[in-house]
A and B are shown apart, each in its own frame.
Chain A
């Protein structure tokens, strides 16, 4: 769902044993079919090289996705004189780069005549390297910009036109804008239910211009009035060339600014309560550069990391969007550290529950001396589950309370990483400074207000425009 190009090479029992329930045999191509873009059982030592080449080509071409080659032991051990083919996709795989010019023209007319236009930038904008083209387009025509969660970083959140993220825990102003716009230009987004809320009330007055490289995403969840199949950057450029006059939307932009002040994300941080998580996220953002990469697990901390960090560059936000896989934070921080430039900080904002799922990765980070900083927003709860149990199940906490959480600072030290702990507001800035300056993996166990909840919130299947600002509005 997150369209990440990834190649998995999996080990299989020797060909003679396949199908016999041999030791450690699993029907890997069978069990991975629903979760891969394509997979292959490499049945021949002469073609296994080409199978792998093709897997690399397919993972990246068109809409990216995971591919897999299952390698029987006797095939990977065999000798061959065959050279693998150059990486190329099979002839049956075709990708359309340019959208139908007629529909581009109609969409351009619609944008020109719109009085309440909005851009909705998804992860496809970042994957398609279209962030720059979208920025120019939005600024040139002064169109307010909403992002999805994977689209975070495609447009600078400190820009006047930015409405930030929409959806279940999106900003109030983004949800107002998406609900009230008359023309929605969705680029590289699959209109996930966490974004749309109830379909009936999603952008109900808007004509939808949908740009996507995957034809199957067009009109899957939300009907596209102007289906534009193609590469995001190419199609945005086509649109930009076709539009002659910017939409007249002064009133709409003023309305959007008004919503930004009406539904400000300003939070309370009373001195007599434990540290609020938003404060820690803002302090981290403050202490790092604009190009710092943030990775997260899944849950409340992930939402605070979306909401209270100001993202300005593409590929600085790394998270598990579609599957929402807890434990994603540390492994992706390790990957990001290896891929990132030396001057980019890598910060993993994690939850106590998510961190506990994959923290053994610290041994890799220590072994490779990877300079990453993990900040655990520790509330000793599986917080998002606890928040739902409070809101929808009369506070009956089931399997969400973890008052036996380990002390993560000591655990980090046990792995050979640096460990820190924060309990008070006045420790936050200094501890972050010290952890960031340590050249190697460090973990800050930040004990936050265990009762803190994430708002705004659109309940599952609800109306985006009716987001709750507090529990009593749910």
Chain B
């Protein structure tokens, strides 16, 4: 073979002292930070138009982000829908998810919610109703409502955090669960904190933080 060049061989060259982690972060020998995945809720306000849901879900599969659940629904503005995502990634991955979402043209606003945000999920659980009294007792324990009953089945509706629903399903399993349908988490920020909303025009004109191209400083 030809094409070789002259010069000091690799082992004759000086090498730098430092290195980076696989996430591209320069390792400071004093504080070597390893990023563990964490679970968080990201709320996005999007234009209510065809294709936007596939844009968002396609982004997650294409870039191999871990997604736990995705819910979508209309808002008070008929031109806007809200997509709520529960994701599990290390911090740099969560940052990257937010940036990639913001890059999508139909995405209006993106925000990661605080851990104390209100998160709710709804589940419909259809169980065998051989022991209707006991089913009713368990339902009452979890604040569930019976929404359908037949001689053989009872369907209950449970609302709450995903842990509460997991626990309820565990309790109902003693009767024999026929089918389950869960919605995935939807969420809103507490108090006066905004979840992810549109910037009124006057606010966007005098935006103070130039680091954020969208008005969703988080």
Contacts and interface: CB of A to CB of B under 8 A. Distances in A.
Interface in A440-474: 449, 451-456, 463, 465-471, 473
B2 interface: yes
Chain A interface secondary structure, helix, strand, loop or mixed?
Answer: loop
Given A92-B106, A223-B25, A229-B211, A469 B1 contact: no
Interface residues of A, number: 71
A205 B19 CA distance: 7
A176 B96 contact: no
Contacts of B19: 200-201, 204
A92 B23 contact: no
Interface in B100-115: 100, 102-103, 105-108
Given A465-B13, A469-B7, A229 B213 contact: yes
Contacts of B151: none
A222 interface: yes
A38 B213 contact: no
Contacts of A92: 47, 105-108
B2 to A, nearest CB: 5
B73 interface: no
Given A94-B213, A205-B18, A467 B10 contact: yes
Contacts of B105: 37-38, 58, 90, 92-93
A451 B5 contact: no
Contact of B13 (A37, A216, A466): A466
B15 to A, nearest CB: 6
A268 B2 CA distance: 9
A221 B22 CA distance: 9
Interface string B82-118: 0000000000100110011011011110000000000
A192 to B, nearest CB: 12
A276 B18 CA distance: 39
Interface stretch (B51-59, B125-133, B159-167): B51-59
Nearest to B96: A220
Given A37-B105, A94-B213, A172-B5, A202 B20 contact: yes
A98 interface: yes
Given A100-B211, A205-B16, A220-B96, A266 B10 contact: no
A225 interface: yes
Contact of B4 (A94, A191, A218, A469): A469
B14 interface: yes
Interface stretch (A120-128, A257-265, A356-364): A257-265
A204 B20 contact: yes
Nearest to A101: B210
Contacts of B3: 267, 276, 451-455, 470
Interface stretch (A26-34, A243-251, A332-340): A26-34
B6 interface: yes
Contacts of A103: 211
Nearest to B101: A216
B22 A200 contact: yes
A216 B103 contact: yes
A99 B54 contact: no
B77 to A, nearest CB: 13
A180 interface: yes
B26 interface: yes
A30 B10 contact: no
A33 B18 contact: no
Given A223-B26, A453-B3, A466-B10, 4 more contacts: A199-B22, A204-B18, A216-B96, A266-B6
24 contacts: A33-B55, A92-B106, A92-B108, A94-B214, A172-B7, A200-B20, A201-B19, A204-B27, A205-B16, A205-B17, A215-B99, A216-B103, A219-B95, A219-B96, A223-B92, A229-B213, A263-B8, A264-B6, A266-B6, A449-B2, A451-B3, A469-B4, A469-B7, A469-B9
10 interchain residue pairs of minimum CB distance: A470-B4, A204-B18, A453-B3, A216-B99, A222-B24, A223-B25, A263-B7, A466-B10, A38-B105, A205-B18
Interface of A: 29-30, 33-34, 37-38, 41, 58, 90, 92-96, 98-101, 103, 172, 176, 179-180, 191, 199-202, 204-208, 214-216, 218-223, 225, 227, 229, 262-268, 273, 276, 390, 449, 451-456, 463, 465-471, 473
